[in-house]
Structure 1
Amino acid sequence: MSGLVITVAQQKGGAGKTTLAVNLAVGFLQRGLSVALLDTDPQGSLGRWFMARRDVLGEPGLEFSTSSAWGVSYEVEKLKRSVDVVIIDTPPKVDSDLRPALREADVILVPVAASHVDLWATEGVLDLARRENKRPKVVLNRVKRGTRLDAEVRESAEQLEADLLDAVLAHRVVYAETLGQGLGALEAARKGPAHAEVLALLAELTD
């Protein structure tokens, strides 16, 4: 795998973009791949995670960079020369500023928290992706398995012009806990269901 670029995008805030980005990054690291994170979100959550990771581990084990929306293409081109995987975290909005991050992506990953509101918010991202001739992948996040809402959202998501992944991330405290510690769920002290969820997502994206 050389220079794979994954852009995580979603119009609605709180969908779990940063959670998804960091857990994928840690997963790729554990596969022995080199990773760079590119934060284009002014809120800077990904940068805070990186600094927390550096404080905890000393050596974070991955590269980190920030960029304005229109500097994305240049930054990605530079990072791809030095790492196996580039993961781009984007702001919670959909406008022309997002297009460079979509254009550079080999994979566009759209997290959808288990609600109809989040599902509706994907339309803008899907429209912009279409204009770039890209077909995004939708991953259900913060899912409460076995609920009626989960079933309804999954059924509706299957109708989108996107590939709905089988892998899901459930609503688990460990994702928030490890995020605040500068870690991923795969680095939690105890292996739990989140461990299997992240591995399943990685496998579906790359195998």
Structure 2
Amino acid sequence: MIAFLNQKGGAGKTTLATHLAGELAMQGQRVTLLDADPQGSALDWAQRRSQSGHKRLYGVFGLARDSLHQEAPQIALRSDYVVIDGPPRVAALARSALLAADLVLIPVQPSAYDVWASQEMVQLVAEARVFRPQLLAAFVINRRVVGTVIGREARQALADQPFPALRAEVSQRIVFADSVAAGRLACEVAPQCAASREIAALAQAARDMLRESVRESLRESRR
């Protein structure tokens, strides 16, 4: 289970969640997306996709309840990956998503304000690790403006945090806005575009983290 969480609104959680789920599905994985945001943006995207007659890539279900961690495991039995689009500013829902997730990805826009705002999420992850010490966490620099150095500065600002920033970054690109409005993915609107390559790199980074965690667990069990 991979959860996109950030207590700050506007970080791009839904865009990343729908695109990561789509990338995994296109790789042949069985994927479910859980919309844990009361605003229901991922559900709206899925509805637009259905109304436009586009192929269904994965199931999208609304689960904006603080019992998410109790209900999600049953859903996971039918999926290879469950992607959770988390809520902003709803700590109870965020805590429930953290208790369900194997990996939490925290989208951070490359600005000092977003880096500062991420501290609340860092604290929530620390609290969740008391109960689930195996919980993985990483930052994702999102909406980086191409051709600027501000993304590098954001990475430097995140260097002091207790978990890493993924090397895979996602830039601010018009194709994301165009694809969301049509209920599609960037790779469907513009195949082989830079946005598609960035999402593929993000999916690979997430899978690598999860695989390394499994390998580490196996090594520990053999000691």
* TM-score normalised per structure 2: 0.86
Q: Percent identity?
A: 33
Aligned to 1:91, the other structure's residue is in SS state coil
**Cα shift at 1:185:** 1.5
User: Structure 1: which 5+ residue stretches go unaligned?
Assistant: none
User: Which of 1 and 2 has greater Rg?
Assistant: 2
Partner of 2:120: 124
| Cα offsets for 1:25-65 (capped at 9, x unmatched) | 11001100111111111111111001011122354231121
Instruction: Kindly provide the amino acid, as one letter, of the partner of residue 69 in structure 2.
Output: S
Aligned to 1:132, the other structure's residue is in SS state helix
Partner of 1:199: 200
Partner of 1:21: 17
Segment drifting more, 113-122 vs 51-60: 51-60
Instruction: Kindly provide the amino acid, as one letter, of the partner of residue 207 in structure 2.
Output: T
How many Å separate the matches in 1 of 2:167 and 2:54?
Answer: 36
| Cα offsets for 1:143-185 (capped at 9, x unmatched) | 0244232222111012211221000001100111111111112
Task: Report runs of 4+ in structure 1 exceeding 3 Å deviation.
Answer: none
| Cα offsets for 1:57-114 (capped at 9, x unmatched) | 3542311211233220233122111111111111111523311100110110000011
How many Å separate the matches in 2 of 1:75 and 1:185?
Answer: 31
Partner of 1:180: 181
User: Structure 2: which 5+ residue stretches go unaligned?
Assistant: 130-134, 209-223
Q: 1:146 to 1:154 in 2, by over 3 A?
A: farther
The answer as to whether partners of 1:94 and 1:125 remain within 8 angstroms in 2 is no
Greater RCO structure (CA 8 Å; 6+ sep): 1
RMSD: 1.5
**Cα shift at 1:126:** 1.1
Partner of 2:148: 147
* TM-score normalised per structure 1: 0.92
Q: Report 1:2-81 matches (<5 A).
A: 5-81=1-77
